[in-house]
Amino acid sequence: MTAAPDRPVAVVTGGTRGIGLAIARDLAPTHLVVVGGRSADAVHRLASSLPSGGGLVADFADVSPGGSLDRALAEVGQRLDRVDVLVHSAGVLRSGTVAQSPASDWLESMTVNVVAVEMVTQALLPALRRAHGLVLAVNSGSGLVSGASSGAYCASKFALRALTDALREEERGNGVRVTSLHPGRVDTDMQHELVDFEGADYDAGAYLDVASVVQAARFAMAAPPGASVDMLSVRPRGWREP
């Protein structure tokens, strides 16, 4: 895929489910969308359903030199002359106490939620600079406040916030904007996994709907050239700090 000059390009990781899927579909009418995900079938099925789409198939936990993510990024980087929007929505949730969580949960959380984000951003940074593009990282309320039984996930989201803060300052002079988006609990598959772990009943009405997060993302994307939406925090109405 080579981007047409009159059509902006969006790359969305984690684009086959949850928030990433909703953002990819929202951008499809106006952008060339490259969808990233681990399942080749899911990536290709979604890409073929979009008006103009492509796929980035990679295991975001495989960050080794020459590994799955490395190869996919090399291929996509060769195809894209510019990237107007890069949305980081790929992520894993590992729950458990510090006393009981295996080291593998912490390693996977940091690898997928932080290291892979850095790798994707670095690979696409030349194309982002050419477009004066936007990097939008879908973080979490857990990137602002940590809690019991969520140390690995929260640590990775705090680290992601540090990464985006650093990137924002480094790239201001290159015209690249960076937004850290912090939704509260959202009605997605990941939320079902968390509630199952907690042993609670699932009440979709207690959580944000995905459309609200998409609107927040669009707000950041729609900022005029002279403005940067550095951080957005979105919570369900009536939500209170625990």
Residues 155-174: tens digit of each pLDDT: 999 999 999 999 999 999 99
Residues 134-147: tens digit of each pLDDT: 999 999 999 999 99
Q: Residue 242 — pLDDT band, cuts 50, 70, 90?
A: very low
| Residue 207 designated active-site | no
Strand order in the sheet with 134-138: 53-57, 32-37, 9-13, 85-88, 134-138, 177-183, 231-234
1 part of a folded domain: no
pTM: 0.89
Please state, in angstroms and rounded to a whole number, the distance separating the CA atoms of residues 239 and 144.
15
To 10 degrees, what angle do helices 116-131 and 151-171 make? Answer: 30
Please state, in angstroms and rounded to a whole number, the distance separating the CA atoms of residues 80 and 130.
11
241 part of a folded domain: no
Please state, in angstroms and rounded to a whole number, the distance separating the CA atoms of residues 119 and 130.
18
In total, how many domains does the chain have?
1
> Taking residues 55-79, what's their average pLDDT?
93
The strand pairing partners of 136, in sequence order, are: 87, 179
> Taking residues 191-198, what's their average pLDDT?
54
15 part of a folded domain: yes
The pLDDT of residue 6 is 65
Residue type, 45: R
Domain span at residue 36 reads: 9-234
The pLDDT of residue 236 is 80
Residues 181-191: tens digit of each pLDDT: 999 775 555 55
Note whether 181 and 160 are within 8 A (CB). Answer: no
- Read off the CATH number of the domain in which 25 is found: 3.40.50.720
Active-site residue, selected from the candidate residues 19, 88, 117, 153: 153
DSSP 98: T
